[in-house]
Chains A and B, each alone.
Chain A
Amino acid sequence: TQLLEQSPQFLSIQEGENLTVYCNSSSVFSSLQWYRQEPGEGPVLLVTVVTGGEVKKLKRLTFQFGDARKDSSLHITAAQPGDTGLYLCAGGSWGDMRFGAGTRLTVKP
């Protein structure tokens, strides 16, 4: 089983601050995905990173895949209350996708 560890588990910040959350593993992944989940709903895909060293930007969100394809980070610039949610990373071989435990982000106005 390929394990994904996310840190921090909880993060509470003020609106306008920057933050970075991490997803680490001892295993190599062909790709990693980041999802965001709101209370009472299923996770929704934000991005997939495939190439080692890849950086993808989605408005104020920047995703990076480690060179060795074992880790990834999500950086949010100037966080807004609408960014509040559970951020999950996921990866795995073609059939059995595994998730990290997630980072629960709260952005206070």
Chain B
Amino acid sequence: DVKVTQSSRYLVKRTGEKVFLECVQDMDHENMFWYRQDPGLGLRLIYFSYDVKMKEKGDIPEGYSVSREKKERFSLILESASTNQTSMYLCASSQIRQGRAFFGQGTRLTVV
């Protein structure tokens, strides 16, 4: 069974902390994505990566960075967490040139 695994289901962090969200996929997919989901706003693309060490900004990259050192792993980094980054974060992967994305279970991050 295909799988995208996010390291935490729930996280509570303090304002100003550096936060790492990890995502691992076991499908050898080229594409990986990070979205945040907020009520009424849907899924907004933060960053995506189409290959190791490659990254592209999505619609809302400010305050975030990413790392893809290995094909199976895509990390989202909040350099200095702020309360407006409280959200559900979803990682996804897909094969290149194919639309179907597989999602992790999500990480609900609360910044206090």
Contacts and interface: CB of A to CB of B under 8 A. Distances in A.
B42 A96 contact: no
> Interface size class for chain A?
20 to 34
B42 A102 contact: yes
A12 B47 CA distance: 34
Nearest to B40: A101
- Determine which residue in B40, B42, B48, B99 has the highest number of CB atoms from chain A within 10 A of its CB, and name it: B99
Contact of B99 (A33, A42, A44): A33
Contacts of A102: 42
> Interface size class for chain B?
20 to 34
B94 A97 contact: yes
Contact of B101 (A1, A33, A101): A33
B56 A42 contact: no
Given A95-B31, A99-B35, A101-B41, A90 B101 contact: yes
Interface of A: 1, 6, 9, 30-33, 40-45, 48, 88, 90-92, 94-102
19 contacts: A9-B40, A30-B99, A33-B100, A40-B105, A42-B4, A42-B104, A42-B106, A43-B101, A45-B100, A91-B99, A95-B50, A96-B45, A97-B101, A98-B59, A99-B35, A99-B42, A100-B42, A101-B42, A102-B42
